[in-house]
Amino acid sequence: KGLKSDLLPVPQELENGKKPDENKYYLTPEEGKSFKKWDKEPLLSPGTEINENHIFTAQFDWSDLMTKGVATTESSKAPDGTWINNFVPTLDELRAAIQLQSKDKTKITKLPDDATVEFVDENGTPVATPDDLYKLVKEEPDSNELVRTVKLKAKVKFASREKIEEIELPIRVYKNRYDAPPTGAMPDFLKQATGPHGDLAKLLDGKTYVKVTVNPSSRLGKLPPKSYWVNPKAWVEIPEIAVSDKDKAATGLKHWSANKATQNEGQAKLGVYDFMKRHKFSEDTEITPVFVEKVVTPVPEKKPNKLIVATGANVLVYLYAATLFTVAGIALVISRTRRKA
């Protein structure tokens, strides 16, 4: 009696990631719940003298499930099942993307360890294995869809709650290669995704997409260059620009070569860039044609003069040609026959 309210130890919520102080008291909500308010009567104002009994009751409320979803890029496998690009999110990563948020939206905590989570796709089919997830995020043919969204439904069961809570979990799937104009900056959606706080920042370890350009020479006529933004961590296919056999012969096109020797066969400078293989690009790269030094135009083979023989009535006619050259350098051809009895 007579004690000032300031001296009363008031339990506080323990912030995420912090260790409790042995000399302090903490609010301990049940899993899946968060502190809402002091019920029955509010806490005493500072400096209040305590002359009677007071009861302060902590009221808790169920937290709301929340998620920002996850982001990744397309994955792919070889025909024999070996990985080419494995960017498939794990089930643990999907679970970690689901969090608890207080009713007033001021506090966010992770799911309790004893909470169970099951995932199903939009058709209600269970997604429970890595292969199930791969089928959802595997590489698809190019389309106008810059980023596709795969929607999963997460079913969360808390140990202390009978009701199963559900929340939609979106997976944003980016491509490993995007068409790009030969000049100009990276498109805004990709710049944002690869920025410090973007969707792909963690996946790319702070790196960004690089530009690869296939640039035909003016010797190949009016073929336009083709450029692409590519994931520096992915093995990607770069389409070859089609050149007809006629144009190859006329221009002396030998092969295509990347200006970064590591992309060429044998890592050779001016070596062959193989469009049939996937490549991983860590920096901007240009692929250009290599021509033979001199194109030799085939010269038609010169045919020798033919001897024409005519027969009849003991007559043999010889036809021959003589070439005379005038002072002006003009060639004249005179033909004559000689008859032998």
Structure confidence by residue, pLDDT tens digits, 56-88: 666 655 568 999 999 999 999 999 999 999 999
pLDDT beyond 70 at 254: yes
- Tell me the per-residue pLDDT of 264-276, one tens digit each, with 9 for 90 and over: 999 999 999 999 9
Q: Is the alpha carbon torsion for 104, 106, 110, 112 positive or negative?
A: negative
Is 304's pLDDT higher than 80?
Answer: no
Name the maximum alpha-carbon separation found in the chain.
163
pLDDT at 23: 66
Q: What is the dihedral of CA 246, 247, 251, 253, to 10 degrees?
A: -100
pLDDT confidence bin for 38, thresholds 50/70/90:
low
Measured in whole angstroms, how far is the alpha carbon of residue 193 from the centre of its chain?
11
User: Taking 60 as the threshold, does the pLDDT of residue 320 lie above it?
Assistant: no
Per-residue confidence band for 294, with pLDDT thresholds at 50, 70 and 90: low
Comparing CA positions, the residue from 153, 137, 165 lying closest to residue 71 is 137
- Residue 269: beta bridge partners? none
- Note the pLDDT of residue 64: 85
- Flag whether pLDDT at 316 surpasses 50: no
pLDDT average, residue stretch 280-293: 95
Q: Is the CB of residue 174 less than 8 Å from the CB of residue 200?
A: yes
263 φψ region: left (φ > 0), alpha (ψ -120 to 50), beta (else): alpha
d(CA 278, CA 165): 44
Average pLDDT score over the chain: 82
Confidence of residue 340 (pLDDT cuts 50, 70, 90): very low
Given a cut of 80, is residue 55 above it in pLDDT? no
Confidence of residue 183 (pLDDT cuts 50, 70, 90): confident
Half-sphere exposure of 12 (CA within 13 A, CB side): 12
Q: Using 50, 70 and 90 to split pLDDT, how confident is the model at 222?
A: confident
Assign 45 a pLDDT band (cuts: 50, 70, 90): low
> What does the pLDDT read at residue 78?
96
